Amino acid sequence: MRFVLRENLKAGMRLARPIYNREGILLFNIGSRLTEQGIVSVNNFEIIGLYILDDAEPAPPISDEDKELERFQIVSTAKLYSDWSKIREGRRPLYLPSLTAEIMSKFGNLDHKINFNQTIRSHGDKYYKHSLNSAILSAMICSKLSNKTSEMKDCVTAALLHDMGMLDIPPELRDKTEEEMSESEKKQIFVSRYKGTNFLENKVNDMPGVRTIMSQHIRMRRMESLGKLENEARWYPDTVKILTVACAFDRLTSMNLGKHPMSELTAIRILRHNPDFFDTSVVTALMYSINVMIPGCSVILTNNESGCVLKENMFNISKPCVILYSNNDMLDLSDTKTYGTLAVKDTMKTLDNRWVVDREFLEKYQATLKAAK
């Protein structure tokens, strides 16, 4: 699988991801071949490129739930684009109330973990996609922490709007990571983000609770960039802590041109190692909301051997039960008496950040192992 920029697309190429229009209508399914009309559609929709399969490469598995998440992300990004424009102009948003309610309905009451697959981002949509994904993650975390419906609503709404101020930063700063920015540039980003909260300070869009969450979250991000937690932040409400964790996780695992996505496992480790800025209970709730390392996931161990996860470990995600590719040995890494500190170093993904082992095939393989015992 490879990512091909739209100017290099050719008719006949096989698609590794489905393509939807802004209304959520499926235009091309996974594995289908790109047509000349399809290339025109890609240009019309300003899609920067597509994931393409090599001729003999099988299409990666994708569940109906994964497809629906991707469709929902496409449709909702277009709605958010429209509403940000209205709010910034002092007008009432058209979709925000229903979008917030839909996110809470779809993701704020789940009884299972989901695959949180990312979509590719461009300079034109990355702030909208980041805000949308942060809202989805916030809803799931709020649910796991049993937050009140009113708190979840404010948290999800704040997530959808928290990056509006980023539209005002200079174009030359949009491509830089925080590591590449000077202190004056970081301050400029902070000021732009904070000014974005002012759009909610009028009679049409008066949302004081949402504005407070946004303001405190932005201050928390500024503290994180400076590496110093101020005393007032210790008393921030759960909604701010949830939004901060959701935003950080999405940033770390997001897919941008020129930036390889970080694995969910590595992102979780980073959050857990910084409890001052990322509340431990919130990070744990995130882990119980999304699939980080489930059966079918290919991994690299700390001894550099590779294998496939057969059974996850909810108590220590770094120590699941795995089968080695080299000799088919099964290792239960939770047995520290036998395997000591041996653990998973990281997961192995395809270019689009999705696992490649078919879950149905894995279940059949596990059943065969049990029958052979």
Q: What angle do CA 12, 16, 18 make, to 5 degrees?
A: 95
**Residue labelled with tokens 């909604």:** 239
CB neighbour burial string for 40-68, b if at least 16 within 10 angstroms, e if fewer: ebbeeeebbbbbbbeeeeebbbbeeebbe
Identify which of 140, 119, 81 has the alpha carbon closest to the alpha carbon of residue 254.
119
> 7-16, 59-68, 88-97, 360-369 — which is least confidently predicted?
360-369
Averaged pLDDT, 310-335: 91
Look over the chain and give the mean of its residue pLDDT values, rounded to a whole number. 87
Identify the pLDDT of residue 369: 57
Residue pair 307/282 in contact (Cβ under 8 Å)? The answer is no
The distance from CA 218 to its chain's CA centroid, rounded to whole angstroms, is 19
pLDDT tier at 134 (50, 70, 90 boundaries)?
Answer: very high
pLDDT of 354 above 70: no
Q: Supply the CATH classification number for the domain 64-287.
A: 1.10.3210.10
pLDDT tier at 24 (50, 70, 90 boundaries)?
Answer: confident
Q: Where are the domains of the chain?
A: 2-53, 64-287, 298-372
Identify the pLDDT of residue 191: 92
Give percent of the chain with pLDDT exceeding 70.
91
Identify the pLDDT of residue 357: 52
Identify the pLDDT of residue 167: 92
What tens digit of pLDDT does each residue of 144-199 get?
A: 998 889 999 999 999 999 999 999 988 888 777 777 888 888 899 999 999 999 99
Averaged pLDDT, 253-266: 78
The domain 2-53 is classified under which CATH number: 3.30.2310.20, 3.30.930.10, 3.90.105.10, 3.40.1260.10?
3.90.105.10
> 103-117, 252-266, 324-338 — which is least confidently predicted?
252-266
Report d(CA 242, CA 157) in Å as an integer.
Answer: 13
Identify the pLDDT of residue 364: 63
